[in-house]
């Protein structure tokens, strides 16, 4: 997959580095062949970052001409309107079938092109009001980590670009690849947000040790067992109240919500990689029945387990 990443004068190195790092790791880890990244600017000339570094060896707009994914990692804080040439590039790339990604304030540049008109997008929470006023044909949600329409993806601010890029890896080449990249760059491949997210199981925080850390590891290895909060607290030899409080401090989630998320993550991986029946997957992942599994899956991802599986087997 050829990936074109837009750079401009005044962008931060972090915003540019995120897609270069995540997509570059796919090739460096040997997870897929042919993943190539190109940095392009409107003029084809070097640009200077917000930190003062000169970014050279860049392509011009032609660098995005045959890209399958065109990424706008950021935009200037005062939200200047993109040039007509850049907007034509976004629209033209979209029309020929490329996926467009607007990360952080890059969502503004994408929204200005019209490819998101009438749809929902996300950007940095601090700029959501200003972006909504300037690109009023798009409904901006300030709570999601990212929103993927299939042809256009937008993400929230700064580190959420990591979530979005890992999501792209997962949808292209699977959850195992996304997890491998996440481990390599030492981030969790999953962070809960308010939107359904097709990304892989989170890794336990390596700094969580003691009874709580051991219980998290035990729960991940025994998702088919009784993982009610009382059982988890007993494993950690803690009171239910204290366990629930500490668990939420560490994971950001209640034990019940965390367990459900992990069971759904396991189920997705089994749907992708096995031909097990829905009933067998439901049992293996700790759901009481196939019906309960389907209900939770649809509620989380707005698709059935069977439809989700077909998405991967038909690629």
Share of the chain above pLDDT 90, in %: 64
- The pLDDT, as a whole number, for residue 201 is 37
Structure tokens at 219: 């729960």
Interaxial angle between packed helices 305-313 and 255-273, expressed in degrees from 0 to 180 and rounded to the nearest 10: 40
| 153, 146 contact by CB (below 8 A) | yes
pLDDT-based confidence at residue 199 (cuts at 50, 70, 90): very low
- The pLDDT, as a whole number, for residue 277 is 94
Residue 205 has pLDDT above 80, yes or no: no
The chain-wide mean pLDDT, for the chain, equals: 88
Strand 47-48 vs strand 54-55: parallel, antiparallel, or unpaired?
Answer: antiparallel
Mean pLDDT of 247-261: 87
- The pLDDT, as a whole number, for residue 188 is 67
With CA atoms as reference, report the closest residue to 152 among 184, 111, 208: 111
Angle at 273 between CA 268 and CA 278, to 5 degrees: 55
- The pLDDT, as a whole number, for residue 125 is 83
At 162-173, the pLDDT tens digits run 999 999 998 899
Mean pLDDT of 84-89: 97
| 101, 71 contact by CB (below 8 A) | yes
- The pLDDT, as a whole number, for residue 8 is 98
- From its phi and psi, is residue 30 left (phi > 0), alpha (psi between -120 and 50) or beta? left
pLDDT-based confidence at residue 191 (cuts at 50, 70, 90): low
Strand 152-155 vs strand 99-102: parallel, antiparallel, or unpaired?
Answer: parallel
Mean pLDDT of 60-86: 97
Residue 268 has pLDDT above 90, yes or no: no
Residue 39 has pLDDT above 90, yes or no: yes
| 148, 104 contact by CB (below 8 A) | no
At 41-52, the pLDDT tens digits run 999 999 999 999
Greater model confidence, 281 or 314: 281
Mean pLDDT of 131-145: 86
Comparing 58-62, 144-148, 200-204, 223-227, which segment has the lowest mean pLDDT?
200-204
- The pLDDT, as a whole number, for residue 117 is 94
- The pLDDT, as a whole number, for residue 232 is 95
Residue 248 has pLDDT above 50, yes or no: yes
- The pLDDT, as a whole number, for residue 312 is 63
d(CA 48, CA 27): 27
pLDDT-based confidence at residue 194 (cuts at 50, 70, 90): very low
pLDDT-based confidence at residue 208 (cuts at 50, 70, 90): low
Cα 184 → chain centroid: 16
Residue 180 has pLDDT above 50, yes or no: yes
């Amino acid at each position: 997959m050829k990936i074109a990443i837009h750079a401009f004068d005044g962008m931060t190195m972090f915003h540019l580095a995120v897609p270069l790092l995540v997509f570059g790791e796919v090739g460096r880890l040997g997870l897929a062949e042919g993943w190539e990244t190109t940095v392009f600017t409107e003029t084809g000339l070097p640009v200077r970052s917000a930190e003062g570094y000169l970014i050279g060896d860049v392509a011009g707009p032609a660098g995005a001409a045959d890209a399958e994914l065109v990424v706008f990692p950021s935009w200037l804080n005062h939200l200047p309107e993109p040039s007509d040439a850049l907007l034509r590039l976004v629209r033209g790339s979209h029309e020929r079938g490329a996926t467009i990604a607007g990360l952080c304030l890059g969502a503004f540049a994408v929204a200005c092109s019209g490819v998101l008109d009438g749809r929902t997008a996300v950007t940095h929470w601090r700029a959501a009001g200003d972006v909504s006023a300037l690109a009023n044909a798009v409904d901006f949600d300030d709570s999601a980590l990212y929103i993927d329409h299939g042809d256009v993806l937008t993400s929230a601010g700064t580190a959420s670009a990591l979530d979005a890029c890992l999501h792209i890896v997962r949808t292209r080449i699977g959850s195992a690849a996304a997890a491998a990249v996440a481990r390599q760059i030492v981030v969790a491949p999953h962070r809960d947000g308010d939107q359904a997210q097709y990304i892989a199981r989170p890794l336990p925080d390596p700094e969580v040790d003691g009874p709580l850390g051991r219980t998290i590891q035990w729960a991940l290895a025994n998702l088919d067992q009784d993982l009610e909060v009382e059982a988890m607290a007993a494993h950690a030899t803690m009171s239910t109240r204290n366990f629930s409080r500490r668990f939420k401090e560490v994971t950001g989630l209640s034990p019940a919500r965390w367990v459900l998320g992990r069971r759904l993550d396991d189920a997705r991986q089994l749907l992708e990689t096995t031909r097990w029946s829905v009933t067998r997957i439901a049992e293996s992942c700790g759901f009481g029945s196939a019906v309960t599994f389907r209900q939770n899956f649809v509620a989380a991802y707005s698709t059935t387990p069977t439809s989700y599986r077909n998405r991967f087997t038909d690629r």
